[in-house]
Structure 1
Amino acid sequence: METTERSSNIVISNIDDQYQQQSQEDISKLNSFDYTVVVLYFFMIIITGLFAMNRTNRGTISGYFLAGRYMQWPLIGASVFASNIGSEHFIGLAGSGAAAGISVVAFEINALLILQLCGWIFIPVFIASKVCTLPGYISKRFGSHRIQIYLAVLSMLLYIFTKISVNLFSGAIFIQQTIGWDIYWSILLLLSITSICTITGGLGAVMWTETAQSIIMIFGSGTLTYLALQKIGGFKNLYHEYMNSRPSIIPNNMSECASPNPRSFLLLRPLNDPDMPWLGFIFGQTTASIWYWCTDQMMVQRLLAAKSLSHSQGGALFAGYLKLLPFFLIILPGMISRILYTDQVACVDPVECFKHCQNRHSCTNVAYPRLVLGVMPSPLKGLMMSVMLAALMSDLSSVFNSSSTLFTCDIWPLFRKNASVMELMIVGRTFVIFMIVVSIAWIPIIQSMQNGQLYLYIQDVAANLAPPIAAVYIMAVLFKRVNESGAFWALMTGLIIGLLRMGLNLHYMEPTCGQLDLRPWIAKVHYMYYAIFVFWITVAFCVIISLCTDPPEDYLLIRTTYWSRFDERERIDEREEEMQWEMLETDNNRNNKKQNHNHSNHIIAIDSYSQELQTKQQPIKSSNNNPLCILRRFIIWFCGIEPESQKQNNRKKKSNNEKHKLVSIEQDVQAKKILTSALIIIVCLALFIFIFFSIPNWWQFIFTDWKISINE
């Protein structure tokens, strides 16, 4: 048996050596067929965006920021999946798979479970409380604006300096590896197309385009996985080949770094594991996941756009099932890339790494694009380029729309309390432009980032800053006694503790393999364990301060906690909330009255001379066909500004029952049974994956009886 394995190893090694030599010649830039596919992708996205702009009402607060709250579960689930799977997943997750094995799958399975927590615990409360933004919920729950402002500003800063930057950084890596375009011009093009869909279309257009992009991502990535598995002789060779993938050039002090982690095929690992300690992951990373999936505007906004609670929960379930795919579509290709391109992807010598990826520390980040260029034939390379563009654009459009929502609904009204709907629409679209400018200004900083650690830094930053936010939202939803003082000072305490470690991490960089670790002890603590500490400190401060101060007023608890979500009592601020929800109608009526009053004499004169008006009607119609009028009508439609007559017709069509449904959490009995059954299945499936793939030597149950030969 050993002789057979050794001979097969030699065969596979020789094939890999020949393939790597050939790959240096085969890896080329995209040709005309590939560019045609990319152009067709852009054309399809533009058509989808125009279709969505025609279907959704973009002239109202609810229409622009929440897609009119008429979205169905397939669109919601696909949009959530596409919003989450950005270009950093194709670069970062694939790179982590190449470097550390399957452990990063735990993030995806954890997200699967937390999504259901959001759909069944948080979303019913958010819908019942009639909010458009999550900071707005906090304001309604505690009756104060300071936490609302803090959370809105912090979210926008995190969007600018983490989500946008990591997407542009990852996209830049792929563009450099595949096309060779200048980074500035390529990113400017992507930002321009993304911003057009976001500015003009609102959340409805974003969700429709994200659905199309998710289909492209799944199809293209699935094709790559299939072709990559064929290159290594099938899934049966994965374990053996991955564990034997060592670069040919290894410095003397880096022998340990060159070999794959012995626990590469374990999901959850021992307590002292540097990648995935099981205790830190379950109790620490989960808190950061709750922030991302349950309290972050970008994700929850899509679930709030559902036409009913059942569709929202169905979307969460659908997105959860889709989260099973990244292992096969992203992580597995990253591991195969290490097998096929060991000297390039798994390099440890600084000189060799710089030669392959212009980075002296590691080249695992290029695992996915290198596999695309080496495995995919033309024009499938263009298809995978479209996949990366889809991931990048879907994430950016989500960030832009969510940031615009936060600024328009939570920040701007504090400075302009009587702002008209037209003003809010303009402010929302203008803020997207501001985000684009900041994104472009961030590009030089992205280029200066070294060693490909940006993806890991984002995880670390989230573990430092996210647990306090998750703690406050959990306390607000589940515990009635928590008040504004306790929540605010707990947030401030958690922020200080989180910033302390984040500052140390930025000052004392983590040493590379073979170097001594001279960092302070607090910087050496694994970020998952630190997240546990920050979370429970925040909870403790929140409870203690709340118990030492006055309880919240009774009306603040109406429909703002999980236990009071069905409370039908009228809140003191109910009228004000209703005015905010129907802001378009109120502002239009006020503007119409002013306009009618200012021009009443002219209207009377026109009415008294009806015959004269009829004689002038024909020239007016003809004048509407001139280029300026046509351009004006196009701009009004493109920007989502409804004509007054259409607004009045839309207002007449809306009944009180329809308005009630938008904030109702009542569910059909049959739908609830189906959703509960699907929930039980997905939770059991996730628990099985966590348990089975964390058992040492689980792979012996699968790989033992398979031959390790590709010449069958």
Structure 2
Amino acid sequence: MNFETIDIVIFVAYCALILGIGLYVSRDKKGHQKNAEDYFLASKSLPWWAIGASLIAANISAEQFIGMTGSGFAIGLAIASYEWMAALTLLIVGKFFLPVFIEKGLYTIPEFIEKRYSTNLKTILAVFWLALYVFVNLTSVLYLGAKALDTIVGTGNGDYMMISIIGLALFAAAYSLWGGLSAVAWTDVLQVVLLIIGGLITAYIALDQLVPGGGVIAGLKHMYEVVPQKFSMILEKGEVITPNGKDAWWDLPGLAVLVGGMWVANLYYWGFNQYIIQRTLAAKSLKESQKGIAFAGFLKLIIPLIVVIPGIAAYVLNADASGSLTTETVSSGFIGLDGTIANDNAYPWLIRNLVPSGVKGLVLAALAAAIVSSLASMLNSTATIFTMDIYKPYINKNANDKQTVNVGRTTAFVALVIASIIAPALGNLGQAFQFIQEYTGVVSPGILAVFLAGLFWKKATNNAAIIGVLASIPIALYFKVGPNGWLESAMFVNIPFMHQMFITCILSLVIIGAVSYMEAKGQDDPKGIDVSGGLFKTSAAFNISAFIILIILAFLYAFFW
């Protein structure tokens, strides 16, 4: 790819600006030693707009720009349910989860488990989350980000993979390890503006190329006429077949995106994921945090414009006159090493082939912003969980502020080194976004069941929670080893992974309920949470925002049904 001087200047300016902001906001104030609250919760000083922007910046990464654009290429607008249903999920988290978390003064999500259940269960889940962040989240973001940069800047054959991984890792570490959540959150405000602007520019250019006369509206109309099946939000079996021959219904099975397993994925991610929920815990107040959640909900509504629509446009640009795609009609930039069509090359292909010189630097900076902001958030949350849930309780109970902050920095650095070593080995993940959802879907249903029971059912006991979360793994694996899974056997059923998650979560809740009843004979658990007394009362601003978001969602699903 040919980068003009202006592209290089824009990209370098972006890097310098992010580092400057990160280091400036995280500087030690005169006469004040940075403590745990400063480092891990940004001194509990974040305003609503910073919280909302930071939530989106932490969420939007290579998974979306590369993975979800690839799914838009392969499946269509239906994949946007992950974004649009997330807007509704955020409202639920803001109204029903945050009041409990903030009232208890939490630093980490595992800390809630300790206060509601026991230290043993907290430690089990803390270790699990550390492993998930290091070996799945950090590793996949580094890999997908480096893959994108290698495709855009290099040839796509892996020549720049290791350099890209190291560069992204060092960039994220440069300000997040020193500054903590303060540096992460305040730089996220700029990063989210940049990634939205860059994403919209790419979408505009892609749509403008679809018809000879150009124009975004004309491009949208052309897409809808050529591939109308890719604008269906609720898929029927056999309605959309991906370029590699897979029925998209297996990834997004009809109404499950509205009333089934999508809720398991979204509630787990937005409600009980440390690197997401941590910035809401750093708010000035509960009302400020809830306003930030609502702001993030509005931003979620526009994300499909920058991560799904470009994928559909890339499909149409590579399809024949009938809207069909084969290895003969598709650009060589989409053909993987195994000879199949590489869906996740859609976004890099757009930047490489359509974005003009002079704009490439801005778009590349937007992509880097999405990757680096997520990396920084994950690093800070990994450090928070290890320091507050492992180091302080078990290794050094009397650790002072300086020791605590230094351990956090060391933890983040070690996690980044491990992820950087593992990332190149991930190989070709196909539709990476779907791969990550399915992998996480093995463990998320049981954890969600434990949290839901702990939040809203006073009778749930610690032993029931431990049995429920452990039982959820073999239940989930039962579905995974079915036909087309890891083993071929008539003993197993074959259903979409969203159905698997939903059934696993329901069965886990049943197990928790049954064990709790047998153990406590119907009595309330001593650690049960009292959710009465107006705990869930929300402000007029939040309620009005929620109503507007619900109206917009109803229109979108009615229009694209």
User: Do the two structures share a fold, i.e. TM-score over 0.5?
Assistant: yes
| CA spacing shift, 1:179–1:686, aligned 2, 3 Å | same
Equivalent residue number for residue 356 of structure 2? 377
| CA spacing shift, 1:347–1:423, aligned 2, 3 Å | farther
Amino acid at match of 2:496: H
Residue 158 (1) aligns with residue 126 (2): no
- Secondary structure of the structure 2 residue equivalent to 1:524: coil
| 2:78 aligned to which of 89, 95, 103 | 103
Equivalent residue number for residue 591 of structure 1? none
| CA spacing shift, 1:118–1:561, aligned 2, 3 Å | farther
| CA spacing shift, 1:43–1:523, aligned 2, 3 Å | farther
Which stretch of structure 1 is more off in the superposition, 92-101 or 275-284? 275-284
Residue 430 (1) aligns with residue 414 (2): no
Deviations 1:285-306 (A, max 9, x none): 2112110000111111011111
Equivalent residue number for residue 80 of structure 1? 55
Kept in 2, the 8 Å contact 1:351–1:360? The answer is no
| CA spacing shift, 1:278–1:127, aligned 2, 3 Å | same
| 2:267 aligned to which of 278, 287, 290 | 290
Equivalent residue number for residue 679 of structure 1? 546
Offset at 1:34? Answer: 1.6
Equivalent residue number for residue 276 of structure 1? 252
Deviations 1:215-264 (A, max 9, x none): 111111112222222222333443544664xxxxxxxxxxxxxxx6x732
| CA spacing shift, 1:355–1:690, aligned 2, 3 Å | closer
Paired residues for 1:159-558 under 5 Å: 159-180=133-154, 182-232=160-210, 233=214, 234-238=216-220, 240-241=222-223, 244=226, 263-270=229-236, 273-281=249-257, 282-342=259-319, 346-348=325-327, 356-412=335-391, 413-446=393-426, 449-450=427-428, 452-502=430-480, 508=486, 522=492, 524-550=494-520, 556-557=527-528
- Write the distance in 2 (CA, Å) between the matches of 1:85 and 1:274: 24
Amino acid at match of 1:145: T
Deviations 1:114-147 (A, max 9, x none): 11111110000001112111110110012x1121
- Write the distance in 2 (CA, Å) between the matches of 1:85 and 1:355: 23
- Write the distance in 2 (CA, Å) between the matches of 1:389 and 1:274: 31
Kept in 2, the 8 Å contact 1:357–1:366? The answer is no
- Write the distance in 2 (CA, Å) between the matches of 1:416 and 1:553: 34
Amino acid at match of 2:252: M
- Secondary structure of the structure 1 residue equivalent to 2:357: coil
Offset at 1:546? Answer: 0.6
Equivalent residue number for residue 697 of structure 1? none
- Write the distance in 2 (CA, Å) between the matches of 1:497 and 1:110: 26
Equivalent residue number for residue 571 of structure 1? none
Offset at 1:350? Answer: 12
- Write the distance in 1 (CA, Å) between the matches of 2:133 and 2:530: 27
| 2:46 aligned to which of 60, 71, 90 | 71
- Write the distance in 2 (CA, Å) between the matches of 1:239 and 1:158: 42
- Write the distance in 2 (CA, Å) between the matches of 1:351 and 1:121: 47
Offset at 1:439? Answer: 1.0
RMSD of equivalent CA atoms: 2.7
| CA spacing shift, 1:227–1:435, aligned 2, 3 Å | same
Offset at 1:685? Answer: 1.7
Kept in 2, the 8 Å contact 1:309–1:666? The answer is no
- Write the distance in 2 (CA, Å) between the matches of 1:266 and 1:239: 15
Equivalent residue number for residue 113 of structure 2? 138
Amino acid at match of 1:526: P
Equivalent residue number for residue 243 of structure 2? none
- Secondary structure of the structure 2 residue equivalent to 1:480: coil
Kept in 1, the 8 Å contact 2:459–2:524? The answer is no
Offset at 1:29? Answer: 3.4
- Write the distance in 1 (CA, Å) between the matches of 2:221 and 2:33: 51
Offset at 1:524? Answer: 3.1
Of all paired residues, the percent bearing the same amino acid is 29
Which stretch of structure 1 is more off in the superposition, 347-356 or 677-686? 347-356
- Secondary structure of the structure 1 residue equivalent to 2:230: coil
| CA spacing shift, 1:315–1:30, aligned 2, 3 Å | same
- Write the distance in 1 (CA, Å) between the matches of 2:151 and 2:130: 31
| CA spacing shift, 1:298–1:520, aligned 2, 3 Å | farther
Kept in 2, the 8 Å contact 1:52–1:208? The answer is yes
Kept in 1, the 8 Å contact 2:48–2:288? The answer is yes
Structure with the bigger percentage of helix: 1
Amino acid at match of 1:267: M
Equivalent residue number for residue 556 of structure 2? 689
Equivalent residue number for residue 32 of structure 1? 5
Q: Which runs of 5+ in 1 are unaligned?
A: 1-27, 245-259, 510-517, 567-664, 695-712
- Secondary structure of the structure 2 residue equivalent to 1:433: helix
Residue 44 (1) aligns with residue 21 (2): no
Amino acid at match of 1:401: N
Equivalent residue number for residue 94 of structure 1? 69
- Write the distance in 1 (CA, Å) between the matches of 2:206 and 2:255: 34
Kept in 1, the 8 Å contact 2:265–2:444? The answer is yes
Offset at 1:347? Answer: 4.3
Amino acid at match of 2:208: Q
- Secondary structure of the structure 2 residue equivalent to 1:264: helix
Equivalent residue number for residue 563 of structure 1? 532
Amino acid at match of 1:415: I
Deviations 1:400-456 (A, max 9, x none): 00111111111112232223332222211110111111111112312xx23524322
Amino acid at match of 1:544: A
Q: Which runs of 5+ in 2 are unaligned?
A: 239-248
- Secondary structure of the structure 2 residue equivalent to 1:562: coil
| CA spacing shift, 1:355–1:221, aligned 2, 3 Å | closer
| CA spacing shift, 1:505–1:453, aligned 2, 3 Å | farther
| CA spacing shift, 1:72–1:241, aligned 2, 3 Å | closer
Kept in 2, the 8 Å contact 1:38–1:385? The answer is yes
- Secondary structure of the structure 2 residue equivalent to 1:678: helix
Structure label with greater radius of gyration = 1
- Write the distance in 1 (CA, Å) between the matches of 2:163 and 2:533: 52
Amino acid at match of 2:554: L
Amino acid at match of 1:201: G
- Secondary structure of the structure 1 residue equivalent to 2:231: coil
Kept in 1, the 8 Å contact 2:47–2:288? The answer is yes
- Write the distance in 2 (CA, Å) between the matches of 1:129 and 1:493: 28
Which stretch of structure 1 is more off in the superposition, 218-227 or 197-206? 218-227
- Write the distance in 1 (CA, Å) between the matches of 2:201 and 2:64: 17
